[in-house]
Structure 1
Amino acid sequence: MRWISVAVVVALISCGGGGGGGGGDPAPECSVSGKNQFVYEVMKDSYLWYDSVPDVDYTVYSSPDQLLDVLRYPLDHWSYIESKAAFDQYYEEGRYLGMGFSLKFDASQNLWVAFVFEDSPAAVFGFERTDQIISINDRPVSEFHDMTAVWNELYRYTSADILKRADDHTVQTITIAYDNVNIDTVLHKEIFTVGTTNVGYLVFESFIEQSSSELDTVFAEFKAANIEELILDLRYNGGGRMSVAQHLAGLIGGSVTEHGVFQEYRHNENYSDYDDTLLFTNPPNSLGLDVVYVLSTGDTCSASESIINGLNPFIDVILIGDTTCGKPVGMYVKEICDMVLLPIQFRNLNAHGTTDYFDGFSPIHSVDDDLRNAFGDPDEDMLEMALYHIEHGGFPPVITHATPFRKSDVRRKNELHGLRREIGAF
């Protein structure tokens, strides 16, 4: 049984989900057993690591999610199942049900607001990046050992009581309920002048349907301002549609990268007929840069890493921040009645054949995410390092600060899973 259709390949989507449906896949029977059978047969057939999937009795599992947990290959931290309604709402409509802010732990177990979507419940109540969260529903942050625990508390009721401390040290308790949140994939844009050089700064949060038009607007402004250097802030970008990544890469490289190989896709040996190549384009208002600065953290994942990997053979990619998440693989969307299954089904390669970067891309200069300063603040540590390098052609001496947690521990605490990880916000 072959589970990939041409229609799905054309809708090829990322290393972070999104895109076409089941194509020519047989329609599953919608009982638990029927859904489990569908998941099992896909994983045994077109899953990238199909030959490592264990033989199990799928009928004994109480849900497709429980079954998928048993079938995943050890390297696979990403295959997931989600409701079709929530998935389509995010990727097609750019919305989700939530509060509209992202939270991050720092190395000392403090919890901070990392960003806020405009017009969301969180924005209406005045939450901002640099706000520190003290407690949730009268439980101090010290009781929450990872982001899943934070999630469970925030969504325990239809609203949550959040005690926060603002940048001006004022403290207040806010009761916030979740609602439909419209996503701004461009979180911040700004133009700096460094000496005589015009520098564009873009904070980009996700690769979804609306993102291409948002990017076109920003790059038209950059082009009109004669941008000579670009700082692309992908620190919270968990991925999305590869077609949007291809578009962004073309806007950066323009004529420098045009017609070059952006990404190649390699499936398991049973589906090599579906291997494909995605080329760079040269969209209007492309910048034609031969260097780009990318700001990254462990949340920089999937399609974001494809930007780094795809551009690397053609231009200088100067990575500043922390090691990226390490997802050199992608998935297709399979409909299961009222659910969708996203199994890993292909590897990503760049023009030099670089793949298997499961340990992520390491920065040329390590800098912690500076949650105490706003996007665009020249004193924000990651942005400051990029601006410094543009001005001086190198980095300042590294000063090492002892922290109570290793960075890997901080990354683990900040992880969510599935669609919520791709959204990157509550």
Structure 2
Amino acid sequence: MKKTLTAGLFLSLFLILSCSKSDDFSIPDTVDPDPDAGVDVQDFMWKAMNFWYFWQADVENLSDAKFPNTKEGSVAYTQFLASESDPGKFFDEKLLFSEDRFSFFSDDYVELTQSLAGISKSNGLMFGLARQAQNNSELYGYVQYIVPNSNATTKNIKRGDLFTGVNGTTLTDQNYISLLFGESDTYTLNMASIADGNVEPNGIDIQLTKEVGLREDPIFLNEVIEIQNDKIGYLVYTGFTNEYDEELNNVFTRFKASGINELVLDLRYNPGGSVNTAVLLSSMIYGTNTKDVFLKALYNDKYQKILDDNDTELRQFFAEKTGKGTAINSLNFKKVYILTTSGTASASELVINGLKPYMDVIQIGETTRGKNEFSVTMVDDRGNNYIYNAERVSKINKNNKWAIQPLLGRNENAEGFSDFTDGLVPNEPLQEDLANLGVLGDLNEPYLAKAIELITGSSAKGIQKTELPIETLTSSKMFTPLKDNMYVTDPPIIW
């Protein structure tokens, strides 16, 4: 019988299980480079990827046999590391599997780890970008929502507003990164309006400034909607940030006390985050039976063999307490309505996929992004197997601030399903409408109106033919350090 590795919520994903003869787990020794070669960053990246990367066996440069632990191997290894002086290019071009869309690097682990806690340098404007027309290089931006207490809240700009330029330059697929996400903290948006079905400049300019330390509470909106004989809980949730788990539980306490009988979970602008928070949210919706499997984690061949040799199966169950030990207030529902777009990714998809074996998940909107792998933050701390730990910051190589966020594994649900690289397809297809984006929480906002229609059986005013469907190219969240990653803070370690 396989041992099952269950979850300790404070440790995020899995408990540490003692099941081997060694006193301490550590990554096996590999070849070292010439210490005077100045390749510390590349050395850290290669060694972390060689052991942990999900596709390690598929990348020739990461092969265990490529650089033998000999004098000759050390010379070859040093030459390989030095072949690219830019660590970012080294990571992207020499270490990644061709099908990997999501692993990334950061040249500042402090910035990256702060982003996991919802802290960033931002003006608070969350927007999507789309093409002006088919095969057209020009882009327009549309405001999805604005983070409270941000610079953008002090300006005359709101959800649904449009822009076509920055600092007087028209946005294109060639310049939007430098204009919107470049080094300048202040920029001026050239606003626009819809004219004859096109997005055209309207002469209005709005200046925004990115500020250090903006905290985004992912609980953007939570309301109880009473309509006909139903009490509907509506939650707009924008990121799986474990620092706000207690507040999330409080929302469900209020939902439960209000006697809601339906739940609409709005994940349209949620690109993911903490796996543990996804487990907690799912438990708040479905239930706290700790014998019900929420997910099973699969790792690369190298690490999976270690697990198999120790007769260990890695499973995560629904939870009954938060990381701080607070009892979860579960709705114990058998149905949930979830709103999605192409920006719905990773931990958001994990919730949908993890709940499906146990309840009726009605997905409304667009096909999700299709990110079913999870990652972990890694830094140059060999003593902790390169895994970032806030309590070990003093142990990180002081000459190396780089971090990597590689994909470690893939999550299956209780039925063994994980094959959604093309995204999760909605039961009720619906695209956001540039001509009628609506106000979040308004009963006539098209997505919420559709959910209410399905719940009550009565048509709502907000549902009408989509005039100008939005085909989002990318969004502002894809240019935060976290991007659309689903992460664990502690991968399972076999001692």
Counterpart for residue 415 of structure 2: 352
2:187 to 153, 160, 174: 160
Secondary structure of the 1:35 match is helix
Cα offset, 1:64, TM superposition: 2.2
Cα offset, 1:79, TM superposition: 0.8
Aligned equivalents of 1:258 and 1:64: distance in 2?
43
Read off the aligned partner of 1:74 and give its amino acid letter. Answer: S
Read off the aligned partner of 2:146 and give its amino acid letter. Answer: V
Cα distance change on mapping 1:77 and 1:103 into 2, 3 Å: same
Deviations 1:178-219 (A, max 9, x none): 112111201111221231110011010111132212211211
Cα distance change on mapping 1:305 and 1:118 into 2, 3 Å: same
Counterpart for residue 40 of structure 1: 46
Are positions 1:299 and 2:343 aligned together?
yes
Counterpart for residue 145 of structure 1: 173
Aligned equivalents of 2:160 and 2:148: distance in 1?
16
Counterpart for residue 20 of structure 1: none
Counterpart for residue 179 of structure 1: 211
TM normalised by structure 1 equals: 0.83
TM normalised by structure 2 equals: 0.72
Are positions 1:321 and 2:365 aligned together?
yes
Counterpart for residue 280 of structure 1: 318
- Amino-acid identity (%): 26
RMSD of aligned Cα (Å) = 3.3
Are positions 1:388 and 2:449 aligned together?
no
Deviations 1:129-182 (A, max 9, x none): 122224310123xx3227x71564453523111233699x99742222211211
Read off the aligned partner of 2:319 and give its amino acid letter. Answer: T
Aligned equivalents of 1:393 and 1:265: distance in 2?
42
Cα offset, 1:400, TM superposition: 7.1
Counterpart for residue 3 of structure 2: none
Q: Structure 1: give runs of 5+ residues left out of the alignment.
A: 1-5, 14-22
The structure having more radius of gyration, on CA atoms, is: 2
Aligned equivalents of 1:90 and 1:415: distance in 2?
11
Counterpart for residue 112 of structure 2: 87
Aligned equivalents of 1:310 and 1:394: distance in 2?
30
Aligned equivalents of 1:224 and 1:30: distance in 2?
64
1:335 to 379, 383, 404: 379
Cα offset, 1:296, TM superposition: 0.6
Superposition map of 1:38-117 within 5 A? 38-55=44-61, 57-70=80-93, 71-82=95-106, 83-92=108-117, 94-106=118-130, 108=132, 109-117=139-147
Aligned equivalents of 2:362 and 2:155: distance in 1?
37
Cα offset, 1:370, TM superposition: 4.1
Cα offset, 1:377, TM superposition: 1.6
Secondary structure of the 1:55 match is helix
Count of aligned residue pairs for this structure pair: 398
Secondary structure of the 2:225 match is strand
Aligned equivalents of 1:338 and 1:114: distance in 2?
33
Secondary structure of the 1:298 match is coil
Counterpart for residue 379 of structure 1: 444
Q: Structure 2: give runs of 5+ residues left out of the alignment.
A: 1-6, 15-24, 63-79, 133-138, 195-200, 308-312, 321-326, 381-399, 486-495
Instruction: Tell whether the 8 Å contact from 1:32 to 1:64 is kept in structure 2 after alignment.
Output: no
Cα distance change on mapping 1:400 and 1:333 into 2, 3 Å: same
Cα distance change on mapping 1:401 and 1:370 into 2, 3 Å: closer
2:294 to 262, 273, 285: 262
Counterpart for residue 18 of structure 1: none
Instruction: Tell whether the 8 Å contact from 1:185 to 1:214 is kept in structure 2 after alignment.
Output: no
Aligned equivalents of 1:129 and 1:105: distance in 2?
14
Counterpart for residue 432 of structure 2: 369
Read off the aligned partner of 1:95 and give its amino acid letter. Answer: I
Aligned equivalents of 1:192 and 1:393: distance in 2?
15
Cα distance change on mapping 1:32 and 1:358 into 2, 3 Å: farther
Cα offset, 1:288, TM superposition: 0.6
Deviations 1:355-396 (A, max 9, x none): 131111000111112452111122222111111100119999
